[in-house]
Amino acid sequence: MPSREVYGQRAPLFERLSARDTPLVLDGPALAESIRGALVRLLGSRADRSVASYLAGPRLVTSYGVPGTVDFTAVSLSDRQLMARCLEAAIASYEPRLSDISVVLEPTRDRLRPLEARLTATVTLMGYQRAVVFLLNGRAVTLAGEG
């Protein structure tokens, strides 16, 4: 029987150290869950910089997270586009497994959650690429491009 090539990516160090059942190589759903966890941590952290400074300057370890956007409104298209650029910049800087990053923010009718966020990106696994879609407003992770 011919050998089957396995695609995957080495699990991040802190995941390997903190969980006994984390495999050394992540693939498919395990990789998506690892990236989702990293995104939750990243997007749940606030950078201590203004939006303008964050987008203009380099993102360093000390500016991990996304800038606060409390002065922006969900109904303003320009505010949503600026917020999406901040999210894209943060993800591009701090989640190296993702490329071709695009974030779309759409208003909702829900007063508690006025925006829906959808991240589309490409995960590169040892030369193999897979499109992924993350719904940033919940725990749903949808892998696209399976087949």
In angstroms, the CA 51 to CA 87 distance is: 11
Please state at what angle helix 77-94 crosses helix 28-43, rounded to 10 degrees. Answer: 120
pLDDT at 32: 77
Q: What are phi and psi of 23, to 5 degrees?
A: -70, 160
| Residue 123 main-chain phi, psi, to 5 deg | -100, 130
Looking at residue 131, its pLDDT comes to: 85
Question: Tell me, what's the pLDDT at 142?
Answer: 53
pLDDT at residue 2, as a whole number: 43
pLDDT, position 146 = 43
From first to last of the 147 residues of the chain, give the pLDDT tens digit.
444 444 455 555 555 555 555 444 555 677 777 888 888 889 888 888 888 888 998 888 888 999 988 888 888 999 999 999 999 999 999 998 899 999 999 988 887 778 888 999 998 766 768 888 888 875 544 554 443
Q: What is the pLDDT at residue 6? A: 43
- pTM for this one? 0.75
CA proximity to 22, closest of 42, 116, 73, 31? 31
